[in-house]
Chain A
Amino acid sequence: MTGSWIDIIIFAPLAPISGVILFWFLQLVFIESEKYFLSKIKDRHIALCRFTNFLGVFFQTICHALGYTVTGSGISEFYLSVHYGKVAPKRKREGFFEWFSNGFLFIGPFFIPSLLLLLTLFFLIPSGFHFTIQHEYTFSESLINFGANLYMFSRSFIGFLVTIDLFHPAHIGFCILFLLIGLGIRPSYIKQEKKREKIDMLYDLRNIKNYLLNKPLYGLIFFITSYIFFYISFLLHSNWYLSFFSILGWLSIIAIISILVAHLLIFMIRITDRIPSIWRYMPYIIMIVSYIGMRVFFLFIPLEHSKSLSLLGMFILTIISTWFILKRETNKFKTIIDMESLRDLDGSR
């Protein structure tokens, strides 16, 4: 066995934890960016913002309720609205149980919706759910294995996304869920936050910091449990510890990609908002029609990667048509002949 004992005993367990924290932090940054773009379209699409608020509140409330259920506190009150959600326990449990259920509230919304997608993916992706076999239990080896696990999953997942079949009901269902989760994994309140405390990335971090600092003993218990879990894995020569944190990493990756796709949707809404009149719906129609057209085309002329090509064709046609409509419908004050030619005609040059 290579690697010093200090590395194995002290540093190695931290490798996957730090990896998960890194991905989770990336997730937070993307959430913040999504929130920023949503706030830009809120005036014209208040219903969409309310809907995304509701999704956010829904996931948070479900996670909180799940926390109370897991800790055996029970649920006496469950209230859910577009702007506010509340879960009250049946039995007030203090100490570790309270801390644990609060953990579900603060950290759960980042991972539990993605878990739903991961379960769906389990039935849709044929491979990718593999874990590397760990030979060395050092910090660097753990980190490399953690990265390899994430890479294998990401490759399968992105491979699935670029070959998604939008004529398959299960794939359409996945797409809808994927978009909903992408729009919903974030702290809520797009509209009303000015009246309340600003709810953003810093607010989330502050909450989690308070959560950890208020009961440092429980945080310590969590770390000790993680270390014990690592030592058991090490002694039994298994990769359980790494696999557990790899799953958390997968959840972060799913969340990040879903937020990115949600970004595309928001970006498209922003762009089409600039198109006047009924023409603004044209890009959406072109998107659907072009995909159907491409699929029908490949039905008669079968080609390899026809699904990916259809998706690519859909994106290219939508972008080109949107650009064309935007140019045609918004350049009202510009002359057909460009200024250079006019100057030539005018003789001013």
Chain B
Amino acid sequence: MDQDELLENERVERILSPHPLSFMKLQSLCIFLLIWGILIGWFANFSEWCNSWFNGFIQIILVWSIVLLIWGIIASLVTIRWRIFFLYLGVVLVGILLIIWQNWQSITGIVIPYYTIFVSIIGFLLVELYRRSHKYIISNHRIIFKGGVLTKEERTLRYDKISDINYKQGILGQIFGFGTVIPISQSGFGLGSDSTFAAGGVAVGKTRAKFFGLAGGEKEVQTPRARSYYELHGVYPFKEIKKLVESLVQGSVITQYQQEQVEFQREQVDIQREMRDLLKKQLELPGDLSINNVEEESSEEEEE
């Protein structure tokens, strides 16, 4: 981080980036491609079924694409991200088009494994590029989240604006000592929602008249969630970072006693200000209504 980006009296505590294994959800998609590439290569060239089930362009392509697409559907349903399915669909379509375009039908058993492994390696490199684009700067005043491969994004969060902090540590994180810190701001930044939808239908009738009824419902639950650019995603060492963030947030939060003190001081200042105004007014009054005259008049009244 450049010095000119820092504010006055600002000091950088830590500069962090996500742990190499923290994007395992994305990496696992590539791992599957790699394993399936090796397996399809073995099935098509070395297994006992290479001359029966995997004998020819159509058979290999069918098995290869069906497994990829089924896995894509499962992964999309589990993560609720249909882009995974479309990604695998893209891999399948490009693979088929490549073989047809280059007339590689006779060597499909060799091309398909190499292509799948190549795509998985490209995937690993892209995930790594994405991971390296993240940078988190923890200073004594704020947390700066930076990221973006092509479009650069940046978010700054002051500690006094943090209302809640969420910590996440998966099994891999527990083993390798990394985890995710999601600071939730007062405006609700850092919160996402999980929604479930249920629907049911009833068909009534025999041959002609059919009635179809549909009843549905949706349930939404607020949950701490942010994009990896807007959270401290997979930071290492997790325990130290957790402690640091917690202490920095705690340091910028005014406690109840401090709040009372501030209120009391404010009242004092208001009283002093009023007194000053009164004194000013009295000094500005003409001679017969000056302070001395007023005091004399009041003492005479007391004597009477």
List residues of A whose CB falls within 8 A of some B CB: 46-47, 50-51, 54, 80-83, 167-169
Contact = CB atoms under 8 A, between A and B. Distances in A.
A300 to B, nearest CB: 16
B38 A169 contact: yes
Contact of A47 (B38, B42, B46, B176): B176
A235 B176 CA distance: 58
A184 to B, nearest CB: 13
B198 interface: no
B174 interface: yes
A168 B38 CA distance: 10
Nearest to A167: B46
Contacts of B39: 169
Given A47-B176, A50-B175, A167-B42, 12 more contacts: A46-B177, A47-B175, A50-B176, A54-B174, A54-B175, A81-B171, A81-B174, A82-B174, A167-B46, A168-B42, A169-B38, A169-B42
Contacts, number: 24
B171 A47 contact: no
A54 B171 contact: yes
20 contacts: A46-B177, A47-B175, A47-B176, A47-B177, A50-B174, A50-B175, A50-B176, A54-B174, A54-B175, A80-B171, A81-B171, A81-B174, A82-B171, A82-B174, A82-B175, A83-B174, A167-B42, A167-B46, A169-B38, A169-B42
Contacts of B175: 47, 50-51, 54, 82
Interface string B146-180: 00000000000000000000000001001111000
B170 to A, nearest CB: 10
A83 B46 CA distance: 43
B199 to A, nearest CB: 29
Contacts of B42: 167-169
A138 to B, nearest CB: 47
Contacts of A46: 177
A233 to B, nearest CB: 40
A47 B175 CA distance: 5
Interface string B208-225: 000000000000000000
A50 to B, nearest CB: 4
Contacts of B177: 46-47
A232 B39 CA distance: 49
Nearest to A80: B171
Contacts of B174: 50, 54, 81-83
B21 to A, nearest CB: 10
Interface string B24-46: 00000000000000110010001
A86 to B, nearest CB: 15
A168 B42 CA distance: 8
A51 B176 CA distance: 9
Nearest to B169: A81
List the 3 closest A-B pairs by CB distance, nearest first.
A82-B174, A50-B175, A51-B175
B178 to A, nearest CB: 11
Contacts of A51: 175
Contacts of B38: 169
A292 to B, nearest CB: 13
B31 to A, nearest CB: 13
Interface in B95-139: none
Interface in B35-77: 38-39, 42, 46
A50 B172 CA distance: 10
A82 B176 CA distance: 10
Nearest to A81: B174
A91 B176 CA distance: 36
A334 B177 CA distance: 40
B78 to A, nearest CB: 18
A46 B174 CA distance: 11
A58 B174 CA distance: 14
Contacts of A167: 42, 46
Contacts of A83: 174
Nearest to A46: B177
Nearest to B35: A169
Nearest to B38: A169
Contacts of A47: 175-177
